[in-house]
């Protein structure tokens, strides 16, 4: 089951999902230190937790962390994109010293 299946309502109906709002990373020894980046959790289905970067992690392999550690760049990029929405078609813009609008 992928994140897209869950996001678009095509997920299994026998699994109960709940929202999760915490940061986590792999516990020491599961992966190398360079892979222990901090992910932003989106939701959990019990034995697994899904991150903002659309990856699924086993809950027993991760630990909750506060606001410390190297962030997952994909999670950070998705969080930034969700927080800032560009204003499109903001109206006419005048370039000073030009008749171009």
Mean pLDDT by 10 residues, the chain (101 residues): 51 54 90 92 87 92 89 90 67 60 51
pLDDT at 53: 92
Q: Are 19 and 43 in contact (CB under 8 A)?
A: yes
> Does this model's pTM top 0.75?
no
Q: Kindly list the domain boundaries of the chain, sorted by start residue.
A: 3-82
User: Please, which residues have CB within 8 angstroms of residue 25's CB and are 6 or more apart in sequence?
Assistant: 36, 37, 38, 39, 62, 63, 65, 69
CA distance 94 to 70: 42
């Amino acid at each position: 089951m992928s994140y897209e299946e869950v996001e678009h309502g095509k997920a299994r109906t026998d699994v109960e999902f709940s929202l999760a709002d915490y940061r986590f990373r792999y516990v020491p020894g599961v992966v190398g230190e360079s892979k222990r980046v901090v992910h932003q959790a989106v939701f959990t289905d019990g034995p697994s937790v899904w991150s903002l970067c659309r990856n699924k992690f086993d809950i027993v392999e991760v630990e909750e962390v506060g606001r410390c550690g190297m962030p997952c760049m994909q999670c950070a990029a998705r969080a930034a994109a969700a927080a800032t929405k560009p204003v499109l078609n903001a109206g006419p813009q005048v370039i000073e010293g030009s008749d171009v609008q």
